[in-house]
Amino acid sequence: MDLSFGPEYEDFRAELRSFIEKNKHKAPPPGMGMHHPGPQEQDWQKLLIEHGYTCRTIPKEYGGYGGEADILKTVIIQDEFARANVNSGLSGQGIGMLVPTLLERGTDKQKEQYIRPTIWGEIYWCQGYSEPGAGSDLASLRTNARVEDGHFIINGQKIWTSSAHFSDMCFILVRTEPDKPKHEGISYILMDMKTPGIEVRPLVTMTGAAEFNETFLTDVKVPVENVVGKRGEGWLVANTTLKHERGMLGDPSQLLGRIESIVKILQNETLDGKPLMQHPMYRDRLVAAQAKTEALKYHSLRLLTHTLNNEDPGVSRLIIKYYGTTLSRELSDIALEALGELGSLYDGSPHVRSHGSWQWRNMFDLGLIIGGGTSQIQKNIISERGLGMPREPKLAETK
Amino acid sequence: MEFGLSPDQKLLQDSVRRYTEAQLPLDRIREYANTKTGFHTGIWNGLVELAATGVLVPEQYGGAGFKMLDAVVILEALGRTVAPVPFIGSAIMAPAAFLAGGTEIQKEEWLPQIASGEVKFGVGVTECISTRDSKGVTLSGDALSGNAMFVIDGGPADVFLIAAGPDNMAIVPRNAPGVTVTKLTTIDYSRMHTEVKLENVKADLLGGKGKAGAAIKQTILAGRLALAADTLGAAEVMIYKAVDYAKERKQFERVIASYQAVKHMCAEMIAELDPFRSLVWYAAHAYDEVPGEALLNVLLAKSGIDGAGKFIIRTATEVHGGMGFTDLMGLHYWYKRVSVNRSLLGTPEMLRNEAAIAQGWLAA
């Protein structure tokens, strides 16, 4: 057991810390930002790239830093920005999913055209995967494209397209080979969101905000050279990206921060004149959740070690999404129930606590349990790939 | 950066597991447990030969001089095979007590005998955590009187370490005048804990009179971590037994492992348990290297894994269906080991309360 990072990395950490200290006044506020990156975000992003604090491994010729992959540096960067509560650069599906996919599968022209403006925050992307009839079973998607004089003509409907209303481009999965088996008939296409025939309707969720959209596509014309990989290989291309998805190591720092917030609530809020912390029922639940959160923290270090040693951590990694999202919801449950009636206040009501953010969090946590592979899909993955249990046989064709 | 077992620790894990798994197939687990002694000479001697009994004893006292994480590796292997040995009392808690609070003379007398397995210790600290039936031991003048409940591994013990209040711990030979030992049979026949009644017993005090406060705390800390590691091993075995059984058992013309209802139970079990392996490892690391973090992490690790264990012993049994409920399947030996671990040295709620106090969240 050696939990030190060693001198090279501690130097890197010290440099990064002083960079953050010196430059943080230029940083836009942290957070996802449900809007197109503006000039301040773009400038901050370029400064971070220049120093190798984001887009580290993206080649220089495409506007990145061009550094070697180094997971310890990645972890240190994540830690230090979180610790300072300073914006760590742009995220989103363009940078997180499309760019790694293009690097691996795109043509030179596609890389040239899209990577630099994407990582610099000039082109913002949304992801066109899910459909009303294709959620957990994504490969059954029905949005289709036929080819007519050098163009795909796309028709269909996508759902859960977050950010579609301000995105410049969409990477979309469509069925181009209707006669092939379902996984072999899909293509991965880059679509300009200004193309005629695209209608984006906000999808208001239970939180009251429009975090997602429905996107309707009617005879949308996209040049055939905008396919990534070959026609019919879209499923494969989309899966390239899965291994790049964030959160593969688990990110307990957010949850640890939320534990601290709940400690403050329990110390500062009173029930029957006594601080909540003096009521054992809330305290007990808090410590139980803290144990799981601390466990996740050390679990992430264990996974990191496996990654450094090029070992497959097997089931230990597969549990992360299920465990983390379940725990996150447990935390917001505790905060809400400790606050009692006050916890139910929302929308700037008198007496509302933290602007109702725990209610928002609690609802959004449920969204996270469902999105990105539901907990039930996760349990299938854990048991099948992690424990070697067989898939459920398909239903025989019924009349 | 290396969070995990070192190559040496992996070798230790291999050799201990190879030994315990060869010596303790189900029929022997059953045979030994049914003696209700909490002891098997052959297994104990085997652990002595592997130098396991001296894992925490420094080399200068004839031990292996290893760290707590090495001990955790051994404890996990013992939990995996429901081993009938007084390892937690004798090889973990007793050396922790002597190292934290013994005089040099006491260490020289007892630690070599612990390492060689010649003397087996039972440890009575329950009343420092919680008192039941108004029991407890008091020291007046130089004589001890009262009852120590749930003396860990007291069944096969030759000598006891018995706490008398928060600051005194006595070294009491089993055959000393005024000592009466009563077996406390739990559902777990693989270990035997006892009540020890003392009537005016004169005994050597660890570190001298009023000097054992820190040692008692360290003994409890080590014991809790050991119980967590034991549960880790036993609970993980139950999960994989459930998975294997589900892959064999057929109903409605398919193996039950292909039903999502069953698969999801198994996925939930491993998801509950596996992160606590990481926390148990870290708590063991902190025990030696980051003492300031040891208490909180041990409290969180034991209470957490007790909770996971409670879920797993129920769920793994359910996956086995009716067979899980039978003696024939033998799954109950692991069930009972995990269940009793949960009740020893502080139940989850008590530990969580202590954790809140340890963090300064409320006045003690």
Contact A294 B297 (CB under 8 A): yes
In the block, residue with structure tokens 């559902």? B187
All domains of chain A in start order, with CATH:
7-91 (no CATH), 125-233 (2.40.110.10), 252-386 (1.20.140.10)
C-alpha distances out from residue A36 to A123, A207, B21, Å: 9, 21, 60
Measure A172 CA to nearest chain B CA, in Å: 31
Q: Note the Cα A28 to chain centre separation in Å.
A: 20
In chain A, % helix, strand, coil (3-state, to 5) comes to 50, 15, 35
For chain B, domains (ranges, CATH) are 7-115 (1.10.540.10), 121-205 (2.40.110.10), 213-358 (1.20.140.10)
Which amino acid, B47?
L
pLDDT at B320: 98
Nearest to B336 by CA among B120, B168, B154, B188: B188
What pLDDT digit, counting tens, does each position of A370-380 carry? 988 899 999 99
CA angle A294, A300, A303 (to 5 degrees): 145
- Give the C-alpha separation, A81 to A60, whole Å: 23
CB distance B223 to B100 below 8 Å: no
Residue A210 has pLDDT above 90, yes or no: no
Residues of B in contact with A308 (CB under 8 A): 1-2
pLDDT at residue A242 above 70?
no
User: What is the reported pLDDT for A102?
Assistant: 96
Block residue for tokens 């949850």: A255
Q: Is the pLDDT of residue A295 over 60?
A: yes
Tens of pLDDT along B279-313? 999 999 999 999 999 999 999 999 999 999 999 99
Does the pLDDT at position A250 exceed 70?
Answer: no
Three-class secondary structure of residue B116 per DSSP: coil
Is the minimum CB–CB distance between B249 and chain A shorter than 8 Å? Answer: no
* pTM score of the predicted model: 0.93
pLDDT reported for residue A182:
93
CB contact under 8 A, A305 and B4: yes
pLDDT at A248 over 70: no
The number of angstroms, rounded, from the C-alpha of A266 to the middle of its chain's C-alpha atoms is 30
Whether A139 has a pLDDT exceeding 80, the answer reads yes
| Angle formed at CA A329 by CA A326 and CA A331, multiple of 5 degrees | 110
What is the rounded CA–CA span in Å between residue B351 and residue B298? 9
Burial class (CB in 10 A: 0-12, 13-18, 19+), B140: exposed
Q: What pLDDT is stored for residue B364 in this prediction?
A: 54
The answer for B92, left when phi > 0, alpha when psi is -120 to 50, beta otherwise, is alpha
**Alpha helices (H) in chain A, listed in sequence order:** 7-23, 39-51, 71-84, 93, 99-105, 108-119, 234-242, 252-268, 280-308, 315-318, 320-339, 357-370, 375-381
A341-374 per-position pLDDT tens digit: 999 999 999 999 999 999 999 999 999 999 888 9
Question: Which residue of chain B comes nearest to A320, CA vs CA?
Answer: B271
Query: Would you call B257 an interface residue with chain A, using a CB distance cutoff of 8 Å?
Result: yes
Closest-CA distance of chain B to residue A210, Å:
33
Q: Given this model, what pLDDT does residue A143 score?
A: 98
Of A191, A195, A155, A152, nearest in space to A170 by CA: A191
Instruction: Answer whether A389 sits within 8 Å of B271, measured CB to CB.
Output: no
Q: How far is B269 from chain A (nearest CA, A)?
A: 10
Active site residue A184: no
Q: Which residues of chain B have pLDDT under 50?
A: none
